[in-house]
Structure 1
Amino acid sequence: MRPSEREQDARSHGLADGPPGTTRSPSGRMAGPSDVVHLVGSSGARRRITSDVVQRSGYIQGMIDFGVDTDGNISVRVPLDDNLLDPLIDVLGCGAVAPERFEQATLLQLLPALYYLQAPDDMIDSICWTVGQTLAIPDDQWSSSRVEHQWQQHTRTVGLADLPGWVVGDLTCRLARLAFRDTCCWRVRRNRVDWSRRSVWGTLRQDWFSNLPQGTAVYDLILDRNRIETIQGKRIFERLSSLRLLSLCRNRISTIAPGAFEGLPSLSTLVLAGNRISTIEQGTFNGLLSSLQELYLENNSLLVVPDGVFAGMSLLSHLSLSSNQISRLATGTFKGLPALTHLYLRQNRIRAIDDGAFEGLSSLQTLDLHSNCISSRLSTGTFKGLSALTYLNLICNQIAAIDEGAFDGLSSLTKLFLGGNRISSRLTTGTFKGLSALSHLDLGGNLIVTIDEGAFDGLSSLQILTLGNIRISSRLATGTFKGLSALTHLDLGSNGIATIDDAPFGALSSLFELDLQFSLISAIAKGAFQGLSSIGKLVLTGNPICDAWADDQYVASGLPNDVTVVCCLDELWR
């Protein structure tokens, strides 16, 4: 709660800055040994607090300069019924609240006054813990909202009016911290602390870690699979300044305060996967710009990646944003990441990639865009500047066409996955030009009907080609695979191929495995497999021809004698 809200709420409950009927001493002095200090109730009753109690406890030192009377007495008016003054003084004189000594109704009534009098944290903590343990919440259902509701419900149950909202909010945060400390003790093993699955809940604040033993070096802190909801305030983990790994995976975190990670100069890995983060504010990663190497934000609820939110992370090499709800990659989204080598964006809702979205990613090697909604066509320059890229995954999008030059500049690309898209009609000459380092190309599950001669021109390093489950019909023409002299595996299964003409595979001198299963092959021309000098396995399962394969007429198709032929789920050795 903001100060103005707290003050307004305090006044409405008789807890204004200056207690009713008193004035602040102009001198602002503290009580001395000869001063007489009284607490004054709402009806005027007075109770004297002896100087030794005041000096020993210090519970009202922050407010003692209120109400200096003409006779030199110090009076502090509190908004309490007169009959609660004695219990208040009794509580203020205790080192800790013993549950058997005070009724819960009394403690709850005293809480606003204790806050107002700025009682020490350990006193309010003691009351919070005493009452909080009686809240009727099942072990697996603790959350801030549930606890806040239970505080008010509990207050009504004992016949009291609702507590001020700011009191309930603070009590809830305190109870979360106290429950955390009760559950999670500092057991450091090899500089690692693992507090996974501890039912930790609530708002993570700096004071959670204030009891860290002096001189303890923690390199890895694991808080996975808990119920943490927010990370509030700056420099939350500064007492853990040696941290290298911080994992908060699979919590319920929805918001992170800017500057929360300041004070962690050695942090290299931050795991925030599996939470409920919908926005990332500018400044969220302040303090990590010169140290962070791996950032995991997958399985959240991000709608956008704010422009430049990662800018300045000079060492960041791995960034995972998979399984969010991102719909667009705007120009400059990833600017300022010169060391980024792996970028994961799979299972989002990306429909458009603006020109320059990947600008500046000169070190990027892996780009995963699997299972998005990238539609229409890949245009020229989409991947401009990614000269170090070796792995590009575009499986299960809605790509219908590939413009010539779409892959310009990807001279280092070795693996390209385009399966499960809507690429239709034909692959034209030059589609993959410039990809001289490509070793693996997946085009399976598209709508390709025709492959033009020269479609694979320039792919001199290609070893694996997947064309299964597309719509190639009727026959394979001679020259279809011209220039693929390094190809070792070719998948043409589940197509409409009915006839294999003479030597369509003649250029594939390195081919070891040819998969033609579940097609419509009923005729294989004499010499159809001529030139396959390295062939070791031919799969013809599920074709009309397979029952007749053993007939001598097919031996003349050009297969070497030692090839393994898989036909009708049997392996026949030639």
Structure 2
Amino acid sequence: MVVQVSCTLVVLLLLVSLLSSLFHCEHSLAFSLKNCTILYSENSNNVSVTCAEHHLTAIPDDIPGNAVSLNLSSNDISNISRMDLGGLSKLEALYVKNNWILQIDDGTFVDLVELKVLDLGENLLTALTKNMFQGLSKLETISLNNNVISFTSPVVFQPLVILHLVDLSNNYLHQISDIDYIVKLPTLQHLIITHNNFTSFQSDDLHVNTSNLLTLSLDSVKKFRITRDIFPHLQSLDLRGWSKDIEWEVSNKTFLRSLTRLHMSETSLSFEVYRAILQTAYSLQEFQMDNIKKWIDDGLIDVACQIPSLRTVDVRNSEIHNITEHMLQSCSNLTELNLSFNNINSMADNALQSMTQLRSLILQNNELSELPVAVQRLTTLEVYDLSINDISELYCPYFWNLTSLTILDLSHNQISYVSECVFQNVNNLKILNLENNKIMSFIDTFKDKLQTLEFLNLRNIDIMNFIQGDFHSLSSLQYLYIDLDECDSVDEGGFEGLDNLQILYLLGDNYFYDHFSGLSNLNTLILNVVESRTHNSSEQRDRPFSNLPKLKKLHIKVHRGYYDISKDVLSGLTSLEYLITEAYFMGSFKQTQVVNAHQYTCAFPVSQRGNKFLDFGFDSCRINAALLCFLFSSNLVMLTLLASFIYHFLRSHVTYAYYLFLAFLYDNKRRKKGIPHSYDAFVSYNVHDKAWVYGELLPELEGQQGWKLCLHHRDFEPGIDDYHYEKQHCWLITLMKPNLKPMNDFSFAIPKKNLHQLNSTNLCQGQGQRSTFLKNI
């Protein structure tokens, strides 16, 4: 009974799912992966798939075969088998970092013939086995950082014939000889082996004549010893986090002749070790030091600047509060100086007087309350970053001598006053960032100035009045970010003069109407509405974008409220390709008309570019092979279950009906051929029943009911075979015990006790009558 109910439920569920798919076929045209998201490329059929942070314990089996990027980071995957990534022959980047991977089977990546980037960082790998990376002949970058790797096969990297970067940081490698085979790779350029258990780095431990390494990151060794010219191409050396008792030996300065960049951080190294390292790097061009407060006062910067080739000094997080007159006096050859994150609150007026070649000065994230006077004399300065300080005003003539300045960042200060002449003579400025200040107006600030400016950021400032003509001279401006949500008044035509503006980001409430004249070349408009309000109707305000004929991208986001949107709100946007709205059209549409829709042409996909939008055929979008496969397989499964159900519970009835059907066919065939029946039935009986047949059966069926029976002893003619008699009757009556099966397809058993149930129906006269006869039996 339980089996019967279960089978019935399965059949019913299948029927329900099948009916649901039929009645909701439009919904089934869409699809989604079980645990991933697909990002499509506009100009390609290839896709990027992200499955990050989904608590997956295994790699999903429905990743599209045309995926070029797969992100499985931050899940609970513990192993990767050979079948998990099968068929992904187009994959170029695979990210599986931050999982629990303990095991990767040999040959797992054999199908990834196009893979270029493999990230297996932050897992639990303990060893790299012989054939783990088999098939990755195009791999360029591999990250194995933050694992527990203590063993690597000497041949594991051999298939990686064009490998450029290897990151093995934060593992448990013990000896430099463990990476000997990596250093030998002819195409390897970048090697990161920080935070391992190396105690020394010596050229004698590496069985290689010449390495092609360009960058090397190394730390926590007690001895650094180079006695052979094995790194002739090494350009960058990262030595952050070294121990204090390090022994530094480079027997010949020419062994590091190509070294141009050195990065060190605060350790317990002595001043003498720093000096020895710097004296070895005679070709150094860039020196970066972090957290070295201990040696600043002793003149470490001055020692570094004595290297004739040095051009860049980067000293961060070293708690330098004051730039003294002598701190940088040897740095006359510098072109870039970065003193960010140092809490600098003062600078001597002559602190930079020797730096006549300086082009970039970064003073980000300090405590300067006013513009440093020392900078006024730097006529060669091109990049000046004063962001995240406490500067309150911009006055004349601070920037007047900075005629080479191209990038000026004053964001995240306390600037409330900007003199109208402050940018006079700054004729080459291209990027100006004033974000997050307290500026209230720009009256004549940009008038007849900054005619080369291309980027202007005025986000999160307190502009109170937006006056026509504020930007009239900025004819070269291409990118403008501005907030108008605090404005008391906004003049019509405030953007006039910005003839070459490409991207406009606006935040506010009142800018929607009459303000876009003069932006004839605008490509992208992003409107961030803090609080929208219903407005009075006018022809211009009903068509706010009518002056933007070249606009291609429009993004409108409303944070609070909603507009009474005009039906012509998008009028004039003849070049629009992308429209993104958030809470803008709420309550505005019951009917929508796309005016001149027949004139619009497709830009994407590339194969349809130039074709009319309304000519695009959507039939291909409705054909869903997955749906057809689902319907076919569902029907097949349902029929299989139904057949199994019938066979198990109703097979006796099916057998009965089957015999009836065969009898019907046999009878119908004989009647069509006009073959008469000599007998109504053939009686098969045991010799012990002969007396009963002749004494009771024959009188009843032949005498009373008019049957004509064929009996073997009475009616068989000599020399005639049994087949002749089979054609002369319709049925075989077998006298036997109950519950025994018939002898053939055209027979039935009659127990003696049921003889009285026989009637005078001629079984050869039709299926219905025969069925009645059998039922009565």
Tell me the TM-score normalized by structure 2: 0.43
Matched ranges for 1:448-527 at <5 A: 448-468=487-507, 470-472=508-510, 476-477=512-513, 479-495=514-530, 496-499=532-535, 501-518=541-558, 520-527=561-568
Deviates more, 1:517-526 or 1:486-495: 517-526
Matched to 2:351, the amino acid is V
Q: Pairwise mapping of residues 28-427 of structure 1 onto structure 2 (< 5 A)?
A: 182-185=222-225, 189=231, 190-192=233-235, 194=237, 196-200=239-243, 213-216=251-254, 217-218=256-257, 219-220=259-260, 222-227=262-267, 237=278, 240-253=281-294, 255-257=296-298, 259-289=302-332, 291-330=333-372, 332-375=373-416, 377-406=417-446, 408-424=448-464, 426-427=465-466
Structure 1, gaps ≥5 residues long: 1-139, 141-178, 203-207, 565-572
Aligned length: 374
1:90 equivalent in structure 2: none
Partners of 1:563 and 1:523 in 2: CA distance: 30
Q: CA deviation at 1:243?
A: 2.1
The CA distance in 1 between the partners of 2:221 and 2:600, in whole Å, is 73
Give CA-to-partner distance per residue, 1:319-344, whole Å, 9 cap, x none: 211111111104x4313323322112
Is the Cα contact below 8 Å between 1:283 and 1:309 reproduced in 2? Answer: yes
Residue deviations 1:142-187, cap 9 Å, x none?
Answer: xxxxxxxxxxxxxxxxxxxxxxxxxxxxxxxxxxxxx999455558
> Contact 1:319 / 1:340 at 8 angstroms: preserved in 2?
yes
Quickly say closer, same or farther: Cα 1:197–1:288, change in 2 above 3 A. Answer: closer
1:153 aligns to what?
none
Q: What code does the residue aligned with 1:447 have?
A: E
CA RMSD of aligned residues (A): 3.7
Inter-partner Cα distance in structure 2 for 1:267 and 1:353:
33
- Return the offset for 1:539: 2.9
Tell me: CA distance 1:534–1:507, structure 2 relative to 1, closer, same or farther (3 Å).
Answer: same
RCO greater where, 1 or 2, for CA within 8 Å and sep 6 or more? 1
Larger radius of gyration between Structure 1 and Structure 2: 2
SS, match of residue 504 in structure 2: strand
Any conservation in 2 of the 1:311–1:335 contact (CA below 8 Å)? no
Show the counterpart of 1:95: none
Identity of aligned residues (%): 24
Over 3 Å counting, the alpha-carbon distance change for 1:362 and 1:199 in structure 2 is same
Q: C-alpha distance in 1, partners of 2:488/2:311?
A: 49
Q: 8 Å contact 1:273–1:300 — kept in the other structure?
A: yes
What secondary structure, in the 3-state scheme, does the structure 2 residue paired with 1:517 have?
A: strand
Shift of 1:197: 2.9
Q: Is the 8 A contact 2:287 2:304 kept in 1?
A: no
Residues 327 and 348 of structure 1 are in contact (CA less than 8 Å); yes or no, is this contact kept in structure 2?
A: yes
Change (3 A) 1:186 1:423: farther
CA offsets 1:303-362 (integer angstroms, 9 cap, x no match): 1233242234233222211111111104x4313323322112211222223322223221
Tell me the amino acid that sits aligned with residue 434 of structure 1: S
How far 1:465 moved relative to its partner?
A: 1.2
Structure 1 length normalisation: TM-score?
Answer: 0.57
Q: Is the alpha carbon distance of 1:200 and 1:559 closer, same or farther for their aligned partners in structure 2, counting shifts above 3 Å? A: farther
Single out whichever of 441-450 and 265-274 deviates more from structure 2: 441-450
Tell me how far apart the structure 2 counterparts of residues 367 and 536 of structure 1 sit (CA, whole Å): 34
Cα distance per residue 1:232-251 (max 9 Å; x no partner): 99998456443222121344
CA change 1:268–1:407 in 2 (3 A) is farther
Describe the shift of the 1:411–1:186 C-alpha distance in structure 2 as closer, same or farther (beyond 3 A).
Answer: farther
What secondary structure does 1:540 align onto? strand
Unaligned runs of 5+ in 2: 1-194, 196-218, 604-612, 615-777
> Relative to 1, partners in 2 of residues 1:210 and 1:461: Cα closer, same or farther, differing over 3 Å?
same
What residue identity is the alignment partner of 2:319? R
Deviation of the 1:483 alpha carbon: 1.1
Contact 2:437-2:461 within 8 A present in 1 as well? yes
CA contact (8 A) 1:210 1:239 kept: no
